[in-house]
A = this chain, B = another copy of it.
Amino acid sequence: MSTLHATNPATNDPLPGEFPLASRAQMDVAVRGGHALLATDWIRNDALRAGLLEQIAVNMEAARATIVERANLETALPLPRLNGELDRTCMQIRLFARLIGQTGWRGDVHVPGNPNRAPLPRPDMRQTSLPIGPIAVFGASNFPLAYSVMGGDSASALAAGCSIVVKAHSAHPGTSELVAGCVRSAIREVGAPGSVFECLFLSNDDAGALVQHESLAGVGFTGSLGVGRHLMDLAAARPRPIPVFAEMGSMNPQFVFPGRLAEGAAQFAEAFFGSLTLGVGQFCTNPGIVVAVRGPALDAFRNRLVKLVNGSTGATMLTAGIAENYRRGCDRFRGGSALLGHGEDSGANTGSAAIFEVEASAFLANPDLRHEVFGPAALLVVCDSVADFAGIAEALTGQLAASLHMAAADAPAARDLLRTLPHVAGRIIANGFPTGLEVGAATVHGGPYPAASDSRFTAVGDAAIRRWLRPVCYQDFPSELLG
């Protein structure tokens, strides 16, 4: 296969357009060209990089109608969602443009020398940050704009001064190409070096070769655990290992305390159902586990939830492969738990809501139940008491987010859980659902493995730029040499 074609997941029909796979030589030119940029003024020209980012956002907004129309055909995501995602994408790009417009964003530190210090003079030490080098960006199928060609990884890496080589996602090649066109135009318009950006269609083998390219310096990835871990392994096995910032699977457990359910189990079921089925459950923040205590309030929650689920109709998922994986994931849950209810499938590649239930002891004994099912499926884990919650939390692998749903009377038990849960997840939410991530200076979008490959960084907000920078110290340099 030397050419990709797009498919409309709602109809399985081919979409217009041909997207030729890049050769290894093209990939090599892109990475080497990006590496060569490190020795140029590009990396210190914050104004030019900020200008490029702003122009990219402008161009994407100008091409909005074309982009969202194509993305809608390629992903089956509705137009309002895609318009919102384009807004978010441009907002992220401008966030980084603004950041590098501020003095001091590199975190420079200057400790002046002291020639009179005894017993030895103190040297003059200046710390600044440099980009680590060319970054490979692997976009996600579920955010064709915000985590794709010009998503957060790309914008933060460009802001840092790194060049990027994007592996365009085969699920939305036309959208990728349209956005890449906006970037290429912006590069010409502001006079940035062409080698800061390349967007390539790559076979899986060549994607692996990209991660192993000797001049590559880092990887940004959003997607499944299987692929993410594969890239991590490739990066770790290189002669010179490089960092991979992968955001992967998460079940985002919802701990529901008895007081909260007693206050209104049906209303809680409705709110949960809304979060579970948002975007056909295709968010990394989708709540895939509910942990609660058996009793009449839980029965009320279950009854209402099952009614909602059984009365629901599925919608088209992003790709045929994702819909197929969703069905397999539901079968995996079914192997170790009871299916309480499910929505109705309709049309090609549909995912409909499904609810499963399992006793806490069975959940703890079965690792098959502790891996994400990507889509609108949730597992209800039934405990004897809130004392079991911490054990459930401890048994989970790393999570992007987790919620505590509680009433005032639940505070002591919530405090107990708060000793464990923050060591499992990157974001802990009180009385809310993890979908609808608020991006700001305090946001953490990341978490222990496998939610993310490196819990010490967040993939959103200003701090995401630190992933692509390394500190360097200049000792005893006259400032005119560092200008």
What is the interface of chain A, defined by CB distance below 8 A to chain B? 38-40, 109-111, 120, 122-123, 125-127, 130, 132-133, 232-233, 236-237, 240-241, 243, 390, 397-398, 411, 414-415, 418-420, 422-423, 425-432, 436, 438, 440-444, 446, 448-450, 453-456, 458, 463, 466-467, 469-478, 480-482
Contacts and interface: CB of A to CB of B under 8 A. Distances in A.
Given A38-B423, A475-B432, A442 B411 contact: no
B125 A411 contact: no
A472 B444 contact: yes
B430 A109 contact: no
The 6 A-B pairs at the shortest CB distance, nearest first, are namely A236-B236, A444-B473, A125-B442, A127-B442, A39-B419, A455-B470
A321 B456 CA distance: 37
Number of this chain's copies in the assembly equals: 2
B132 A481 contact: no
Contact of A476 (B422, B430, B456): B430
Contact of A127 (B438, B444, B478): B444
A475 B132 contact: no
20 contacts: A39-B390, A109-B441, A125-B440, A125-B443, A127-B441, A127-B443, A132-B456, A236-B237, A241-B453, A426-B473, A427-B475, A428-B472, A428-B475, A429-B476, A430-B478, A430-B481, A432-B475, A438-B475, A446-B471, A456-B470
A438 B474 CA distance: 12
A372 to B, nearest CB: 15
Nearest to A476: B430
A453 B236 CA distance: 11
A442 B110 contact: yes
Given A241-B449, A411-B481, A471 B236 contact: no
A9 B301 CA distance: 72
A415 B481 contact: yes
A472 B448 CA distance: 10
A395 to B, nearest CB: 12
Given A241-B232, A456-B466, A458-B471, A430 B477 contact: yes
Given A38-B423, A411-B481, A428-B472, 6 more contacts: A132-B455, A418-B481, A426-B472, A427-B474, A430-B478, A456-B469
A26 to B, nearest CB: 23
A68 B478 CA distance: 39
Contacts of A125: 438, 440, 442-443
Contacts of A455: 132, 470
Nearest to A474: B428
A32 to B, nearest CB: 12
Given A423-B130, A430-B481, A449-B241, A438 B122 contact: yes
B240 A397 contact: yes
Nearest to A482: B418
B241 A427 contact: no
A432 B236 contact: no
A384 to B, nearest CB: 21
Contacts of A438: 122-123, 125, 475
A472 B424 CA distance: 10
A232 B232 CA distance: 13
Contact of A472 (B111, B232, B422): B422
Contact of A442 (B243, B449, B473): B473
Contacts of A411: 480-481
Contacts of A456: 132, 243, 466-467, 469-471
Contacts of A466: 456
A133 B423 contact: yes
